[in-house]
Amino acid sequence: MSQLSNLYLFLYNSLQSFGWALALFRVLSSFVLTKSVGGAYASAGELICFLQTVAFLEVIHGAIGIVPSGALLPLMQWGGRTHFLFAIVRGINEVQELPSVFITFLAWSMSEVIRYPQYALSCLGRCPSWITYLRYTAFIVLYPIGMAPGEMWLMYQALPYIKEKHLYGDSFLGLPFSYYNFVQAVLLCYPFLWSKLYIHMFKQRKSKLAKQHEKKKR
């Protein structure tokens, strides 16, 4: 059963690696060809939406215990990204060419083309130490870039369009609901929720790199 789980996780992480590498290639190719950051969504948006949808499997992986992450933190990360992608970027055409989309997609793609290969190679027990180091170091820069000038700034820029379009109505399951107010609340809570994930990553970094150091000493 352990071998089957490892094989499945290797295939899953390998496919995600390929998908995010392709997304990064499309984002950068669009930038080089057009000399503009406005084509990020047009070039890679649908692919990134697909990859993010499939990534819900990572919540299930944690919930059923085939990875040690648990379900809560993967669910927080998946939920935040999915809301940002589908409700904001995909749902509001006017924001799709803003620089914040390019910044977010670039930061996400660069993070994932490191993270998923590290996971895939770890399933084989053959992950080079430099990839592990990069996995638990690059996030220090990439995560804040994706969060502040990327996700948060774009949500702020989207607020006038949400209000003007009366986006997603005034009710949810029969209850009074204002999506405009919801996004404002999300913007207020976002740094606190994000910092929980960021601090968790630092704890993981300390643990993983300490284990790696011990292996080298042996």
Per-residue pLDDT reduced to its tens digit, 113-158: 999 999 999 998 888 999 999 999 999 999 999 999 999 999 999 9
Count the alpha carbons within 13 Å of 70 in the hemisphere toward its beta carbon. 6
Percent with pLDDT over 90 in the chain:
75
Chain centre distance of CA 207:
22
Give 80-118 pLDDT, tens digit per residue: 999 999 999 999 999 999 999 999 999 999 999 999 999
Give the pLDDT of residue 171: 60
Q: Which residues pair with 171 in a beta bridge?
A: 176
Nearest to 176 by CA among 164, 188, 168: 168
Q: Which of 12, 116, 151, 190 is catalytic?
A: 151
- The active-site residue out of 143, 179, 180, 190 is 143
- Rounded to 5 degrees, what angle do the CA atoms 111, 30, 58 make? 30
Structure confidence at residue 218 (pLDDT): 61
Burial class (CB in 10 A: 0-12, 13-18, 19+), 145: middle
Global pTM value: 0.91
Closest-CA residue to 69 (of 133, 147, 9, 129): 9
Is 161 an annotated catalytic residue? no
Task: Compute CA 67 distance to the chain's CA centroid, rounded to the nearest angstrom.
Answer: 18
Helices 99-123 and 2-34: crossing angle in degrees, nearest 10, is: 150
Q: Is there a catalytic annotation at residue 94? A: no
Contact by Cβ (8 Å): 115, 21: no
Instruction: With CA atoms as reference, report the closest residue to 215 among 115, 132, 118, 120.
Output: 132
- Cα(128)–Cα(147) distance, integer angstroms: 29
Strand pairing partners for 172?
A: 175
> Cα dist. 98→7, 37, 104, 158 in Å?
40, 8, 10, 10
